[in-house]
């Protein structure tokens, strides 16, 4: 596979977004006006999406001038067609485990998982195409084998499917919460409770469409469990377990409780350690093997830069 190229006309798909009309101010508002505000784009762009049937309300096709009702479910799938030349690249990978069905990868900070606008090469997918002999095709040419993702500057474990049967099994395990994902993070401030549950709705930010934000009752329900591992004078070392897998979930929830992840430039984390991204690491992944039914658990140690920060804080704590 190392010398192959995948050339096709594919869609750069900005993930399907769902909005629930809940605020009184949005009731009886035109659909195109509502989406223009939500998406941060012009009404003419929204009208093009609607005419291209990339927008539905309650699962049905709609017109731009449709007036919204409380509880309406609006789904948007925006697509930009381009020529994709997806080349296998000999990028070093930390393959924690591999067999004929799955591979578990310890992704480094700074690596994008799959091609997207602004990052069409040097992604995890480019590396997978070089190193692995087969990948599932369920997510198409642009995301072969990708069952779940990590943010670019989040390090740690993710599982890759090498065939469609494995992909469907892993996807179902994540949806049913049978697969478990655990993270370590260093956050700003001292978290008072030893453990807790953060449960909110998460939606696109009204101020910046590239960001996510906690909302009252629109978007998608997100649940995160946390445990305090260690406290310092101005920071807390945290352990998180994802019960859902929303975009930027831990980062958004950490900000929501007043303790953003250190090094996170998007959600307000401090950066006094010359970091290149947030101190967030997916350290453990537990799943059931799709073929054998055996429960498997994988661990990835904290990256050196993360350990270095903890060592500095512990030394200061003891002095």
pLDDT score recorded for residue 248: 96
Task: Look at residue 267 and tell me if it is in a domain.
Answer: yes
pLDDT score recorded for residue 3: 43
Task: Look at residue 60 and tell me if it is in a domain.
Answer: yes
Task: Look at residue 298 and tell me if it is in a domain.
Answer: no
Distance (Å, whole) CA 115 – CA 140: 12
Domain boundary among 28, 48, 81: 81
Whether residues 39 and 134 share a domain: the answer is no
Whether residues 127 and 245 share a domain: the answer is no
Q: Shortest CA distance to 309 belongs to which of 172, 184, 224?
A: 184
pLDDT score recorded for residue 69: 94
Task: Give the mean pLDDT per block of 10 residues along the chain (319 residues).
Answer: 41 61 92 86 77 80 91 76 68 97 98 79 93 86 87 97 94 91 98 98 84 88 97 97 94 98 97 97 98 98 98 92
pLDDT score recorded for residue 242: 96
Q: Residue 26: which domain range?
A: 12-81
Whether residues 45 and 97 share a domain: the answer is no
Whether residues 24 and 123 share a domain: the answer is no
Domain boundary among 51, 81, 111: 81
Note the pTM of the prediction, 2 decimals. Answer: 0.76
Q: Please report, for the domain that includes residue 269, its CATH number.
A: 3.30.2350.10
Domain count, the chain: 3
pLDDT score recorded for residue 108: 98
Whether residues 44 and 101 share a domain: the answer is no
Task: Look at residue 303 and tell me if it is in a domain.
Answer: no
Whether residues 145 and 113 share a domain: the answer is yes
pLDDT score recorded for residue 81: 39
Of 72, 101, 151, 264, which is the active-site residue? 151
Whether residues 29 and 93 share a domain: the answer is no
Residue 151 known to be catalytic: yes
Distance (Å, whole) CA 184 – CA 310: 12
pLDDT score recorded for residue 50: 81
Q: Please report, for the domain that includes residue 33, its CATH number.
A: 3.10.290.10
Domain boundary among 147, 177, 207: 177
pLDDT score recorded for residue 54: 76
Task: Look at residue 61 and tell me if it is in a domain.
Answer: yes
């Amino acid at each position: 596979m190392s010398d192959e190229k995948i050339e096709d006309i594919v869609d750069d798909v900005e993930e399907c977004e769902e909005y629930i009309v809940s605020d009184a101010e949005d009731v009886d508002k035109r659909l195109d006006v509502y989406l223009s505000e939500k998406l941060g784009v012009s009404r003419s762009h929204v009208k093009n999406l609607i005419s291209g049937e990339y927008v539905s309300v309650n699962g049905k096709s709609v017109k731009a001038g449709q007036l919204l009702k409380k509880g309406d479910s609006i789904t948007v799938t925006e697509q930009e067609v381009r020529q994709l030349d997806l080349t296998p690249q000999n990028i070093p990978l930390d393959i924690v485990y591999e067999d004929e069905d799955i591979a578990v990868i310890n992704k480094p900070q700074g690596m994008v998982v799959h091609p997207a606008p602004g990052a069409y090469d040097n992604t995890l997918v480019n590396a997978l195409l070089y190193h692995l002999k087969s990948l599932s095709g369920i997510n198409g040419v642009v995301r072969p084998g990708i069952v779940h993702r990590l943010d670019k500057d989040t390090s740690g474990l993710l599982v890759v499917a090498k065939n469609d049967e494995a992909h469907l099994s892993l996807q179902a395990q994540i949806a049913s919460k049978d697969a478990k994902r655990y993270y370590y993070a260093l956050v700003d401030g001292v978290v008072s409770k030893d453990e807790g549950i953060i449960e909110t709705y998460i939606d696109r930010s009204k101020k910046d469409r590239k960001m996510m934000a906690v909302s009252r009752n629109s978007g998608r329900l997100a649940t995160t469990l946390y445990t305090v591992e260690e406290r310092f004078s101005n920071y807390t070392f945290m352990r998180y377990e994802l019960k859902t897998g929303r975009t930027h979930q831990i980062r958004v929830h950490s900000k929501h409780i007043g303790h953003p992840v250190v090094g996170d430039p998007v959600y307000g984390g401090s950066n006094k350690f010359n970091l290149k991204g947030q101190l967030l690491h997916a350290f453990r992944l537990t799943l059931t093997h799709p073929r054998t039914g055996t429960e498997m658990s994988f661990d990835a140690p904290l990256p050196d830069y993360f350990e270095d920060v903890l060592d500095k804080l512990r030394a200061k704590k003891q002095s």
